[in-house]
Every structure is written in C-alpha cells, then in structure tokens.
Structure 1
C-alpha cells in the first residue's frame, strides 16, 4: 500500500477551494491536511471534499483565523483527546488515524503561531505565545511517545540555514531566530524524523513560502521552508518519495505557501 499525505496552508479554504482540484491532480494524495482554513465548522465548504473524491472530512475551525482540516480517501478516526494548546482553544491542531498494513497511521495536522514581528517574548505577546506553544508540544510528545505517526503542517519556522534565502540576514527575523529553531528541533527530537530533508540534502536550498510582499516572487526567490512533514522512526523505512509543488505559488490568487507531500510504502 502506498499512502500519500499532502499538507498545505491554504490561507482560506473558501477563497481557494478550487485550487484543491489542482493539488489533487498533481500530487494524487490519499490524505490532504490543511491549515489556515479560516472558517467555522458550520460554514466549511464540505462539497469540495466530495467533488475531489475525498469522502472523509474532519475539521476544526473558527471565524477568520487559524483552522485545520483533514480530507481523506480512507476512513478517518478522530483523536478526541488533543490538548487545548496554551488554553486558547484557537483551532491549531487536529489529529486522526487511518488504517494501513502494519497498523493504523496517526496523522497530526498543526498550525503553529506565526509569532508576530518582534523576536522578544517580553515585548511581543505573539512571540511569547509561539514559544509557549512549542514548549507545550514538546512536553506533550515527550510524555506520549508517538508511534507510526506523521506530523505535518505550517510550523512557521525554517530551521536550517538552507531553509531560508539568507541565513545571515534572517537570524533576527521571526521564523529563523535561534530560540525558535532550538524549540522546533527539541520538539522534533521527541520522536520524529524530517521526512522532506530525508530526500533533499541539508545543503540544498528548499522553500515552501514566499511573501506576498515580493511582487516577482520567483525572480527574487526570497523564500523560507515553513511547512514540514515529520515521521516517526518506525516509518522511516517506508519513506518512498516526496514533492514540493512550487508551481502553486503562481496559481491565480495563490496562497503564499505551497503544498508538499510524502508517499509511504507501507
């Protein structure tokens, strides 16, 4: 069995639901994880899932901000006991499992706080929230060791030097500061392997996000790798292939993030 899991910060599912047809055609995923759906659950455009041939849908959303969802060709079992991170009830995680040879695979879909513009927890509440969120996720996965799990999402941190267009210029810019990188690495080290860098060596540039502020994003190519797919060590032997759908940044009314996917041979 091949299981392809795609992840995308769609930046409003109602605005960009038509793009999901392009994603499905190009990546041919079995599971699509979305972030920043920006819609309460009762207004989620559920018809798009059926149109795509994804009859199974789980969602956790709120008005205007955040929001996560999982669309699947395979039956999903919702993880009911996910934490209320930082006590904010702000719809930043949804988890579910799918059946596969060897047992269920748990999929964790995360949207980590962006953290604002000032990399100082005392001067910026949003940055403090981001660091607290990362500390809580690390503590949770230390306590509940993941097994046969895939963690995906917009984690809003580019950890490696080649995950940003200029390591030197972005060291003091939120998303690439040492304190964030250390926090993200500590979370990953609770029991996950960077599945995308499994295929793309760490000395090669790799981005999944380009700012809307760059009018000609492709020419300037000032990107960052903010979107990630991690797998637990027991799934590393199953890693088969990956794709980063860079072309999506040029779609009409694009998200500033592009979809990426990993295929497991289970």
Structure 2
C-alpha cells in the first residue's frame, strides 16, 4: 500500500476552502492533514472535498480557534484524541487506515511572544503540552504510526533563516527545541522531512508581516512529518510546496508532503 500524505496549517478551512480544493486537485495527496481549521466539525465544507474524492474525514474542531482534520481518499476510522495540558483545545486527532497505520495530526500551541513561562502563560502551556506528549509516547511507544502537523518549533539551525537572531524568539529557543527533541526521542520518531532532505535551509512558514515574503525569505520549518521507527525505511519523496504560500489570500504556512510504501 503506497500513499502520499500532506500536512498544512490552513489558517481557517472555511475561509480557504478554495485553496484546499486547489491543493487536492493539483497535487492530489491521498491524505491531507489540516491544522488551525478554526471551525466546528459540522461547519467544515466536507461535501466540497468529498466531490473531489475525499469522502473520509476525522476531525476535532471548535469555533474560531485551533481545530484539526484528516481528509482522506482512503478509508480511515477515528482513533481518538488527546487533550494534552488539559487546555480543552482541539489540537489533536488520530485516524487509523485499513492496514493499521495510525496517523496523528497535531497543532501544538504557538506559545505567545515572550519565551518565559513566568511572564507568559501561553509559553508555559506550550512546554507543558510537549511534556505530556513526551510522556504519552514514552508510556505507549508508537508502532506503525505517522505524526504530522504544525508543531510550532523549528528545531535545527537550518530550519530558520537566522539561528543567531532567533535564539530568543518563540519557536526556536533552546528550551523549546529541547522539549521537542525529548518528545521525538520518547516515541522513537524519525524526522521524515529531514531524512529525505538532510541538507540546507528548509522552511514551511513565512510571516504575513513581510512586505515580500518570497524575497525576504525569513522562514521557519514549523510543520513536520514524523514516522515511528519501524517505518524508517518506508518513506520517500518529501517536499515543501513553497508555491502555495504565494497563492491568493494564502495561509502563512506551506504544505509539507511525504510518500509512504507500507
């Protein structure tokens, strides 16, 4: 069984329904995991996606914030969710394919602007969320599993436009990178994207604040695809669809792809 998977922080699935449809039509991944859907599940435009062949969905949503969804051309069943750090947010959903592969779709808290949990509650929530993710994967080590999503951390020096300038900026601080690394190690997760593209600057997010995001190219790799250790030889063809950042009224994130042969 071979399938291509994409992950994309869409920044409102209803506002950008047309962009989702464009991606599904032009790139045709078998599975598309969306984050920051900003919609209750019953308001997600499922019929439009079903008309394009994506008749299966598992999702968690809430009005105006957060929200995660897995759209699939392949049959997929709901495999539950976790509310790490007890935030009451729709930030995780899991789906199980017919071959038993479990796909985890995450939207990790962004963490606010100040990298100090004493001064910024949101930063503390982000660290707590990652700590509980770590503990969960340590206690139930994943097998035949894929984890994707906006993890809101760019871990490597070449995952940001300037390592030195971003060391004190939320998403690339040493404490966040350490927490993400512990989470990855606890589950035995393999960084699929960097296994396929080991060298060079690589980004999936560019701020709306830049007058010309493409020319400035001050990006960060916040969106990730991981695989459990038993799938380390099953993936290939990773890529970031940078062009999507330049579509009309885009998300500030670009989709990340990988193909799996299982």
TM-score, length-scaled by structure 1? 0.96
Q: For 1:87 and 1:212, how far apart are their aligned partners in 2?
A: 30
Aligned to 1:140: 136
Note the alpha carbon deviations across 1:28-82, whole angstroms, 9 max, x for none.
21111000000112222111221221110111100110000011111111113x3
Aligned to 2:194: 197
Structure 2: runs of 5+ lacking an equivalent: none
Aligned to 2:75: 75
Aligned to 2:94: 95
Aligned to 1:48: 48
Q: For 2:254 and 2:82, how far apart are their aligned partners in 1?
A: 27
1:22, distance to aligned residue in structure 2 (A): 2.1
Q: For 2:72 and 2:180, how far apart are their aligned partners in 1?
A: 27
More displaced 10-residue stretch of structure 1: 171-180 or 236-245: 236-245
Aligned to 2:229: 233
Corresponding residue to 2:153 among 157, 166, 169? 157
Runs of 4+ in 1 over 3 A off after TM superposition: none
Aligned to 1:121: 117
Q: For 2:191 and 2:98, how far apart are their aligned partners in 1?
A: 22
Q: For 1:194 and 1:42, how far apart are their aligned partners in 2?
A: 33
Q: CA RMSD in A?
A: 1.0
Q: For 2:201 and 2:52, how far apart are their aligned partners in 1?
A: 32
User: Is 1:111 aligned with 2:107?
Assistant: yes
Q: For 1:240 and 1:232, how far apart are their aligned partners in 2?
A: 14
1:27, distance to aligned residue in structure 2 (A): 2.8
Contact 1:27 1:243 in 2 (8 A): no
Aligned to 1:206: 202
Q: For 1:264 and 1:46, how far apart are their aligned partners in 2?
A: 25
Structure 1: runs of 5+ lacking an equivalent: none
Q: For 1:265 and 1:84, how far apart are their aligned partners in 2?
A: 31
Q: For 1:60 and 1:73, how far apart are their aligned partners in 2?
A: 19
TM-score, length-scaled by structure 2? 0.97
Q: For 2:249 and 2:82, how far apart are their aligned partners in 1?
A: 34
Q: For 1:122 and 1:156, how far apart are their aligned partners in 2?
A: 20
